[in-house]
């Protein structure tokens, strides 16, 4: 774990920590933001079916995906949208299907946005720190053979996925969290947790907005536009 006292420290020091003062390389790491530093790296599926034994849960995942695929066919979803597993999983994830995919980004700043975005005006003492997780891509533990693979879904027709630099981890191993998986199977660093104070949300979100990282650019629709307008109004209110 790397604790940062301020958002400015994170901006200044993260790349030095990860790249030893070399330039940023997008093939080295993936990043994920968490609005509460205490949350584990568990998928929507594993949280939803936490009461089901792990071995049965793996079979249930296959059954869920098969049923969703059949439903898409019945609904007339274009074959090109679901003709391979990666597209089907990403489509389901996008529309709320509980999957064993966990969202990641190629950008630490996009991850930071997702970590901070709910803390601008609704701060809670229960969530006083956020986290930006770093996944070390060069660790061999991230492979289908070992149990958790990196999935890149085609993004040509998925504007959100493209805007967010979206990648996924797909867990096939009988574990409930990625932390459990790494603890059991990794021998070299595979995950790093960066912890920042949630109270720095105003500084972080203002900086990220200046970088072009906001709800509208990540979710380019009216919902994203409304969220960005709300965020900017909130920042102005805090500055007065």
Q: What percent of the chain has pLDDT over 90?
A: 42
Tokens of residue 89, six digits: 């999983």
Query: pLDDT, tens digit, for every residue of 218-239?
Result: 888 888 899 899 998 989 888 7
User: Average per-residue pLDDT in the chain?
Assistant: 87
Local structure of 138: helix, strand or coil: coil
Cα torsion 153, 156, 158, 164: sign: positive
Name the one residue in this structure whose structure tokens are 């493209």. 162
Higher pLDDT, 134 or 240: 134
Local structure of 26: helix, strand or coil: coil
pLDDT band with cut points at 50, 70 and 90 for residue 156: very low
Half-sphere exposure (CA, 13 Å, Cβ side) for 90?
Answer: 25
Cα torsion 97, 98, 101, 104: sign: positive
CA–CA separation, 200 and 196 (whole Å): 8
pTM of the full structure:
0.86
CA distances from 40 to 123, 128, 179 (A): 20, 16, 7
- Closest by alpha carbon to 217, among 225, 205, 206, 207? 225
Q: 109-125 burial, b if ≥16 CB within 10 A, otherwise e? A: bbbbbbbbbbbbeeeee
Tokens of residue 67, six digits: 């049923």
């Amino acid at each position: 774990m790397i604790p940062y006292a301020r958002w400015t420290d994170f901006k200044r020091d993260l790349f030095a920590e990860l790249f030893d003062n070399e330039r940023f390389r997008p093939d080295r790491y993936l990043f994920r933001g968490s609005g509460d530093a205490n949350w584990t790296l568990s998928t929507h599926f594993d949280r939803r079916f936490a009461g089901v034994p792990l071995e049965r849960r793996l079979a249930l995942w296959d059954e869920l995906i098969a049923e969703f695929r059949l439903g898409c066919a019945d609904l007339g979803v274009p074959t090109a949208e679901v003709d391979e597993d990666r597209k089907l999983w990403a489509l389901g994830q996008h529309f709320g299907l509980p999957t064993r995919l966990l969202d990641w980004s190629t950008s630490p700043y996009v991850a930071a946005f997702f970590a901070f975005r709910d803390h601008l005006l609704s701060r809670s003492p229960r969530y006083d720190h956020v986290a930006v997780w770093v996944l070390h891509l060069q660790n061999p533990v991230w492979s289908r053979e070992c149990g958790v693979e990196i999935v890149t879904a085609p993004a040509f027709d998925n504007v959100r996925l493209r805007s967010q630099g979206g990648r996924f981890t797909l867990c096939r191993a009988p574990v409930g969290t990625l932390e459990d998986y790494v603890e059991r199977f990794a021998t070299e660093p595979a995950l790093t947790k960066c912890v920042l104070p949630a109270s720095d949300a105003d500084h972080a979100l203002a900086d990220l907005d200046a970088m072009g990282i906001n709800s509208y650019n990540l979710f380019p629709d009216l919902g994203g536009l409304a969220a960005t307008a709300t965020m900017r109004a909130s920042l102005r209110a805090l500055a007065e």
